[in-house]
Structure 1
Amino acid sequence: MSGMTGTAKYFLLALVIALVGYLPAYGQDHMYSQFFNSPVYLNPALNGQFKGDLRMNLIYRNQYTSVPGGLSYLSASIDYNVPEFGGGLGLLFTRSNEGYAYLNKNNIAGIYSYSVGSEDYVLSFGLQAGITNRSVDFSKLVFGDQIDPRLGYIPGSVTGADKPDFNNRFYFDSGVGINLTLKNFNIGGAAQHINKPNESFTGTPSTLPMRGTVHASFRYNLTKDDNLDDDDKSYIIPSVVFYKQAQAQSLSAGMQYKRRSINAGIWYRSGGQGSAIVFSLIFDLFINKEGGEKLRFGVSHDVPAGGLNYSNTSGTTEGSIGYETTLPSRSNGDRKFFGSSRCYDFY
């Protein structure tokens, strides 16, 4: 590659990324740095786990911003808190777009969660089931017979390579999750693609590997005056999130400083989509504090810590927005496990 121009190098890098995403055997789910701002994607057991009655979350990830081809991911969810069983009903939509070949994945899933517990602990379970559509534009792929040794890619050239039989596929997908909140400690786990769906574009089966997630957080109160409301206290919240899918795995560890409506964090992530240092900043805007109406804005940025160079990728940026509200017909007395610590207290 020493004789290539800068443009050619960027093109081949984008092509490699596209092909890696295209090969089913090496499929890997995306991960969000702001995992706490996409709780339903992190773990279906976190569905319905919030102070209000209705919650909506949207998060967008633009990975390796300056690399041609584009790697973008979006998740949108809406969940409804059902006090009778301390869980909820929810809907999750996820979309990914990877590379020049426009490898797209769209998934829509329904979620049901249920909780048991007392004032001392809350144990939640979640079930997720949905449909995924996977598609690719093969006309955007570049093969060896379309590349001239001197001139590089020849626009308009036609490849002699055989194309797969299909350019899109639908399949059923499912997941489960569990979460335990015990005083100032929260731990949970989830398994996605437990039915290991076949996502191949050819006649040869290629199953999507199951993805396992484990997450844990501890909340340490920095405020000496315990008579303050929880919203006025300051906390340090160290957390760890571990993902594993087939041979790919990633560990993210760090901590947040939470003070009233501001939440700032720093993380280190290894493996998976590349090692990185992550900075996050979250703002909560209470539109109607008495009525439990809240608007949350979040932004984070990943700086590569090894392998890829920041000057070539410009890192990865995420933005998120969340809205939470209560229903006038409900009161705190309707809620199960009222007064106990819940998972949302950590985020």
Structure 2
Amino acid sequence: MRPFYALTFTAVLFFGLLSAGSVSAQDTRFAQFYTSPTQLNPALIGVFDGQYRLTANYRSLYSSILGRESFKTMAASAELRQRVSRSRDYAGFALNFLRDQVGASEFKQVRASLGASYMKQMGGSGYRSADQYLVAGAQLGIGQRGYDWGKLWFTQQFDQAQAIVNYSADNGEGFSQNNTGLYVDFNAGILWYASFEKNMSIYFGGAIHHLNTPNISFLDQADEKLYSRYTIHAGGELPFTDQLSFLPAVAFMSQGPSLSTTIGGNFRYTNKDWRELAIRAGVWGHVANKLDKGLEMDALIFAAILETGPLNFGLSYDVTTSLLSTANNSRGAFEISLIYTSPPKTKRFAVACPRL
């Protein structure tokens, strides 16, 4: 697939979905945050070893309780990276899309954005020296929220004689605005990383989403600001042998009164007889603040990734560890990720980047 067609396809996909849908109240969270880089930090745009990268993520949360009305999150992105003149600096470009939905009213949020980054080489390209880059990135996009008013019913619509809901009857609420207006959304981030040798790297970054705190109210005369989300994340890769390495990572997020931290790591194993095949597996923990109890670990995440050359396929499952486990039998969230990275044309165009 050529880069132009890949970007065109993604653009048609997310702008089509944006016009068709409306849109969830809080920022979504992926357990495999490292497989959705442009949603985590705009500075991760272009940070991959290849010509372009296509990413897709899907998450289903609490289907054991909510059934078909569970939280469903979909995200997709397409990225390109270009060398800047004859330097070892690079510019990255991305299209990003996210859609969230939950509940009987199909309450949704949709966000679509264009992103760009600049990768400044800070050192490396020499014998036994680490390749180091400082990356700054930003995203500018639009968003919207909405729900299906026709799928809600109120007391006035309940026919007691027949014990049914008459959806055609007046609900007495005097409000039926299904969508917020389109709002502008701005995100920015920064990242530093160093790649020392094969299977050894480190990175550290931070981002602020919704810098402009857009108005997300359904009421024309009201002002309901979306909290800015602050993210700090770090990780790397530590080799044990040529075949086995460990990829630890942590992501801390703060948005209004809410705090969220995911920490853990994946072991990665490959073998020269496998050629381009590798497997990863690991355990992660998610800690969040319960507003009346403080911080609490609410999920244990089991993750696995299959690498087949340019294609990575990831699966994860959240096991609920909070008091909610009595209601959902510890069955939390199921998540899928798919990443395709087109290999560089030649070694000359290869860029040393950390594995996420």
TM value normalised by structure 2 = 0.77
Contact 2:94–2:115 at 8 Å: present in 1 too?
A: yes
Structure 1 partner of 2:31 = 33
1:219-230 matched pairs, under 5 angstroms? 219-223=237-241
Cα deviations by residue, 1:179-201 (Å, 9 ceiling, x for unpaired) = 11135321111111101110111
| 2:96 pairs with 1:92 | yes
Return the alpha-carbon distance in structure 2 between the equivalents of residues 278 and 297 of structure 1.
Answer: 16
Structure 1 partner of 2:82 = 82
Change (3 A) 1:188 1:147: farther
| 2:317 pairs with 1:297 | no
1:107-186 matched pairs, under 5 angstroms? 107-116=111-120, 117-119=122-124, 120=130, 121-143=132-154, 145=156, 154=165, 156=167, 158-163=170-175, 165=177, 167-182=179-194, 183=196, 184-186=201-203
Structure 2 partner of 1:57 = 55
Cα deviations by residue, 1:95-154 (Å, 9 ceiling, x for unpaired) = 1112111112221111101111221321111010011122211222344555799x9984
Give the aligned residue type for 1:113.
S
Change (3 A) 1:302 1:164: same
Contact 2:23–2:146 at 8 Å: present in 1 too?
A: no
Shift of 1:37: 1.0
Give the aligned residue type for 2:70.
G
Structure 1 runs of 4+ aligned residues shifted over 4 Å read 144-149
Change (3 A) 1:153 1:215: farther
SS of the aligned residue for 1:219 comes to strand
Structure 1 partner of 2:273 = none
| 2:209 pairs with 1:192 | yes
Cα deviations by residue, 1:295-323 (Å, 9 ceiling, x for unpaired) = 11111000111021266273210011111
Change (3 A) 1:57 1:152: farther
Cα deviations by residue, 1:39-85 (Å, 9 ceiling, x for unpaired) = 11111111111111011000000111221422100110000021223
Change (3 A) 1:153 1:187: farther
| 2:213 pairs with 1:213 | no
Return the alpha-carbon distance in structure 2 between the equivalents of residues 23 and 106 of structure 1.
Answer: 5
Contact 1:43–1:189 at 8 Å: present in 2 too?
A: yes
Return the alpha-carbon distance in structure 2 between the equivalents of residues 186 and 50 of structure 1.
Answer: 13
SS of the aligned residue for 1:139 comes to helix
Change (3 A) 1:153 1:62: farther
Return the alpha-carbon distance in structure 1 between the equivalents of residues 72 and 312 of structure 2.
Answer: 22
Contact 1:132–1:170 at 8 Å: present in 2 too?
A: yes
1:296-335 matched pairs, under 5 angstroms? 296-309=312-325, 312=328, 314-326=331-343, 328=345, 331-334=346-349
Return the alpha-carbon distance in structure 1 between the equivalents of residues 260 and 333 of structure 2.
Answer: 16
TM value normalised by structure 1 = 0.79
Change (3 A) 1:255 1:327: closer
Cα deviations by residue, 1:161-207 (Å, 9 ceiling, x for unpaired) = 23154534211111001111135321111111101110111121101
Report sequence identity in percent.
29
Return the alpha-carbon distance in structure 1 between the equivalents of residues 99 and 23 of structure 2.
Answer: 18
Structure 1 partner of 2:304 = 281
Number of aligned positions between the proteins: 301
**Unpaired runs of 5+ in structure 2?**
1-21, 125-129, 271-277, 291-296
Change (3 A) 1:272 1:48: farther
Structure 2 partner of 1:289 = none
Give the aligned residue type for 1:252.
T
Change (3 A) 1:114 1:215: same
Contact 1:136–1:168 at 8 Å: present in 2 too?
A: no
SS of the aligned residue for 1:33 comes to coil
| 2:245 pairs with 1:235 | yes
Contact 1:132–1:171 at 8 Å: present in 2 too?
A: yes
Return the alpha-carbon distance in structure 2 between the equivalents of residues 153 and 198 of structure 1.
Answer: 38
Taking only aligned residues, the RMSD between alpha carbons, in angstroms, comes to 2.7
Contact 1:44–1:113 at 8 Å: present in 2 too?
A: yes
State which drifts further: 306-315 or 244-253.
306-315
Shift of 1:88: 0.8
Shift of 1:233: 3.3
Return the alpha-carbon distance in structure 2 between the equivalents of residues 312 and 147 of structure 1.
Answer: 30
**Unpaired runs of 5+ in structure 1?**
1-21, 224-231, 287-293
Contact 1:212–1:245 at 8 Å: present in 2 too?
A: yes
Change (3 A) 1:145 1:308: farther
Give the alignment partner of residue 266 of structure 2, picking from 239, 256, 273.
Answer: 256
Contact 1:138–1:167 at 8 Å: present in 2 too?
A: no
State which drifts further: 296-305 or 81-90.
81-90
Structure 2 partner of 1:201 = 218
